[in-house]
Structure 1
Amino acid sequence: MIEINNKHIVVIGAARSGIAAALLLAKKGADVFVSDNGKISETAEQKLTEAGIPFEENGHTNKARSAEFVVVSPGVPTEAPIIQYYLNEGKQVFSEIEVASWFTDQKIFAVTGSNGKTTVANWLHHVWETAKRDHALAGNIGVAFSDTVDSNNGDFLLEVSSFQLDHIKNFKPAVSMILNITPDHLNRYQNSLDAYAAAKFRITENQTEEDRFIFNYDDPIIQKHVETLKKKQNAPKLWAFSNENEVPEGAFVRNEHIIFKFNNKEESLMPIEEIGLRGRHNLSNGLATALAARAAEIKNETIRESLKSFTGVEHRLELAREVDGVKYINDSKATNVNAVWFALDSFNVPLTLILGGRDKGNDYSELNTQIREKVHTIIAIGESKDRIQQQLGKTVPNFVRVETMGGAVRAAQKVAKKGEVVLLSPACASFDMFDSYEHRGKIFKEEVNKL
């Protein structure tokens, strides 16, 4: 562990995880200072003041440059001048999950991936609850790891993002999971898919042969990195999941049943039709969840029960309401093109699709085939309206541009017929119009409830 007692540590970024790291470090005896380039929320200010932690906002002064090492919030890019200053000085930069991991010996189950990680983290939480096992659900999911370190005596179930993995040193999950790797956040990785994939694979960096790595056998980018991982001395034990192929060790599908395979012995877990969540991608998520539960030595009957009874998470293919025979689906969490592809893949009825927000360099044309087959109307919102129209305007019979979420919902009501679906699946970040994807989904549901 890094020595922190009486050390002067600066935390850059005062969002949820930055504040949690600052409070934890102060509690453990460090001399902490918090600096944010923007405005610090009143709640955050209150927490810092109560803990006696000094802070600054709306820019980094020289006070932010005097730390022995720095802790960075995931929202702050490595390219930020303040982070570059520390790296150029040869000083260490740590993420909040790294810091939190110094203060626990409990087992960590960490899941990452471009899509599905929130679903799987919540699904794990559901399995652990079903098994009545002590645990805390935390990470990139609403509660910072640092907030739970001192209060949890069981396993840590963590959703982790590539940004959080960018600045780890000793972070070591007992079980790590990568669900898939598709282009996302490439603006933070020099527009390189390889650099982004390498960031995700840092989840395995400190694992040894007593640990497990669970991965998607059907993902070619993951497969390539797994080949490199196999050559590493003392590599973690590899468990694969696949809904297309039989795997050497792990979980796969044969004759519409989930099969576990360990030490060349097979056992049938359950028919896939009994899984509570729809869609091919959720079959993959369910297989990953089942393997992590098995790694925790949770009984098959408990895993079965949980795969059947889990109904998903808010803002991910969530039914908001049915009005005049039309289902309104909130998939606000779909912040990249691949997530929208999965959403469209889950439906076989005519669709009205609400797309748009803050663009991350998206190639919407990847959705062309799905949209041609299923979508009769695209309603574009937010900053990316022009780009969406440019790439998809000719793919659909109707293309509508609106300024507000209320306008989008009302425009959808005009064109959607009984038996059809109106799908909010934006493919974009929410920050042009909303505070977060949760805020965007909440406003969508409020507007639907006004119909």
Structure 2
Amino acid sequence: MTPGKLRGKNVTVVGAARSGTAVARLLHAHGANVFVTDAGLIEPAFLTALNEEGIAFEAGGHSDRAADAHFLVTSPGVPSSAPLLQRAAGAGLSVYSEIEVASWFCRAPVLAVTGTNGKTTTVRLLGHLFRQAGRKTFVGGNTGYPFSNFAATAGPQDLVVLEVSSFQLDHIAAFRPWIAVMLNIAPDHMDRYDHDFDAYARSKFRLGENQGSDDWFVCNRDDREVRERTSAFRSSRTHGPALLEYSRMGEVEAGAFVRDEEIVLRITDEETLMRSEELIIPGPHNLHNALAAAVAARVTGVPPPVVREGLRTFLGVPHRMELVRETGGVRYVNDSKATNVHAVRYALESVDDPVVLIAGGRDKGNDYGPIKPLVKQKVRAVIAVGESAGKVAEELGPEAGCTMMAGSFEDAVHQASMAAEAGDVVLLSPACASFDMFRSYEERGDLFRNLVNEL
């Protein structure tokens, strides 16, 4: 749909948090009759924004008015199985995601990054590289800054870098990134996909479904799911995007790889960029993120010296393997953004010293099997906390030296500090969502940081 066709359309926005409020304001500004509906309470800041714009809304449930629309726009926090969305689909109404609608207004080239883990780091790294190159760049999406906030502002000479989740991709129609980046795929959000991993993976691969021969698809050759699904994806397309791969395990025909501990780019010509050890961000997973970002940056024309300097100076993102403090010979690391098992595996692979692991929260259908060998190898103690504390203790406790159950998050940090010895790492890497005790993983990480600094 084009913005010019929106005037006078009745549009229902489902969910009144960040992205819902942002897309409601965007649609309202372009002449749509917008109605916002939320099954829960609406936070004061969003209530103020809706009232200031004169946008009608309801909270605490969905009235019949919510279904009286030409189409619906759903927030990522609303499952596709929600009765209102099912009712709309049954009535033949289109249901779009916020990124789909925002893309109708965007004139700038879009780089979109998805994957189970590493999205935020890669997106922020790309933003850093482009700004180092002097390009005006808008960074947002699933990072907490909605696409709708800047879609109509970004011009043709600018760049837009989006973090995109599977929930956002579930309801796209024409969303088409110029450069799509697929980082990895591992089980996550199984509670939202009826414990069907294939459904989750298919949703991720919708990222490239509208791309054409003028576009680029950048993918991780070392990830088996990505590699195999990319092959199937390309074989089903007649005029699909150009493929660029990256690998730290072996050379690729086109893209980026590591050879003799040096990062090598092979886009048009082969160019040795830098030694991999020059990266500040730690761990094999961050080497993958850096390779992906380097490929995408070179495709946009960022010169190799700028890419090199950007990779050397990027410090990472808060709540992702963030060193909070070292005291008494113990390092405290905030990895609150590790909301799935795969992310915990990355964290443990990045640490060489004995670990006291704080894990637990709201379970998303986790299978802890893949990290049990690492826990047995590296973890001296598990501090289980939150709604899933019992499951965490049952699954990981036998693999660690000891297990303790914490009655609160404060108690978890206290127990971890008591269990840790000089030379250990106390690692908050929950493997779970934060919503049992916190509003976000950021709030969880902030409390961890504050408690550690009070030790």
Q: Please give the TM-score of this superposition, normalised by the length of structure 1.
A: 0.98
Match of 1:208 in 2: 212
Q: Confirm whether residue 220 of structure 1 aligns to residue 224 of structure 2.
A: yes
CA contact (8 A) 2:70 2:93 kept: yes
Match of 1:93 in 2: 95
Q: Confirm whether residue 280 of structure 1 aligns to residue 318 of structure 2.
A: no
CA contact (8 A) 1:405 1:447 kept: no
- Residue 228 (structure 1) shift: 2.1
Give the letter aligned to residue 250 of structure 1. G
Q: Confirm whether residue 238 of structure 1 aligns to residue 243 of structure 2.
A: yes
| 1: CA distance, partners of 2:233 / 2:380 | 45
Match of 2:46 in 1: 44
- Residue 197 (structure 1) shift: 1.0
Q: Confirm whether residue 256 of structure 1 aligns to residue 261 of structure 2.
A: yes
Of the three residues 379, 388, 403, the one matched with 2:407 is 403
Q: Confirm whether residue 164 of structure 1 aligns to residue 133 of structure 2.
A: no
Unaligned runs of 5+ in 2: none
Give the letter aligned to residue 226 of structure 2. I
CA contact (8 A) 2:267 2:299 kept: no
| 2: CA distance, partners of 1:151 / 1:118 | 22
- Residue 322 (structure 1) shift: 1.3
Match of 1:358 in 2: 362
After superposition, give the CA deviation of every residue in 1:364-422 in whole Å (9 maximum; x if it has no partner). 23211111111111000000011112112211221110121211111111111112110
Match of 1:112 in 2: 114
Q: Secondary structure at the match of 2:398?
A: coil
Q: 48-57 or 408-417, which moves further after superposition?
A: 408-417
- Residue 129 (structure 1) shift: 1.4
Q: Confirm whether residue 332 of structure 1 aligns to residue 341 of structure 2.
A: no
Match of 2:300 in 1: 296
CA contact (8 A) 1:13 1:37 kept: yes
Match of 2:191 in 1: 187
| 1: CA distance, partners of 2:105 / 2:345 | 40
CA contact (8 A) 1:275 1:307 kept: yes
Give the letter aligned to residue 238 of structure 1. L
Q: Secondary structure at the match of 2:191?
A: helix
Give the letter aligned to residue 34 of structure 2. V
Aligned residue pair count: 450
Give the letter aligned to residue 132 of structure 1. G
Aligned structure 1 segments of 4 or more residues deviating by more than 6 angstroms: none
- Residue 51 (structure 1) shift: 0.3
Unaligned runs of 5+ in 1: none
**Mapping of residues 122-201 of structure 1, within 5 Å:** 122-153=124-155, 154-201=158-205
| 2: CA distance, partners of 1:190 / 1:450 | 42
After superposition, give the CA deviation of every residue in 1:290-345 in whole Å (9 maximum; x if it has no partner). 00101111000000001111010000000111111211100000000010000000
Of the three residues 443, 449, 455, the one matched with 1:439 is 443
- Residue 215 (structure 1) shift: 0.3
Match of 2:85 in 1: 83
Q: Give the RMSD, CA atoms, in angstroms.
A: 1.0
After superposition, give the CA deviation of every residue in 1:36-81 in whole Å (9 maximum; x if it has no partner). 0000111111100100001000100101010110000000000000
| 1: CA distance, partners of 2:339 / 2:246 | 24
| 2: CA distance, partners of 1:120 / 1:270 | 18
| 2: CA distance, partners of 1:406 / 1:191 | 32
| 2: CA distance, partners of 1:438 / 1:262 | 37
Of the three residues 15, 26, 29, the one matched with 1:27 is 29
- Residue 262 (structure 1) shift: 2.9
| 2: CA distance, partners of 1:220 / 1:192 | 18
Q: Secondary structure at the match of 2:180?
A: strand
| 2: CA distance, partners of 1:187 / 1:310 | 34
Match of 1:308 in 2: 312
Q: Confirm whether residue 70 of structure 1 aligns to residue 83 of structure 2.
A: no
| 2: CA distance, partners of 1:152 / 1:107 | 9
Q: Secondary structure at the match of 1:47?
A: helix
CA contact (8 A) 2:273 2:308 kept: yes
| 1: CA distance, partners of 2:162 / 2:230 | 22
Q: Secondary structure at the match of 2:399?
A: coil
Match of 2:434 in 1: 430
Q: Secondary structure at the match of 2:116?
A: coil
- Residue 269 (structure 1) shift: 1.1
- Residue 190 (structure 1) shift: 2.5
- Residue 229 (structure 1) shift: 2.3
After superposition, give the CA deviation of every residue in 1:147-198 in whole Å (9 maximum; x if it has no partner). 0123333110100001001111111100000100000012222322111111
Q: Confirm whether residue 266 of structure 1 aligns to residue 270 of structure 2.
A: yes
| 1: CA distance, partners of 2:319 / 2:48 | 29
Q: 334-343 or 414-423, which moves further after superposition?
A: 414-423
| 1: CA distance, partners of 2:214 / 2:65 | 43
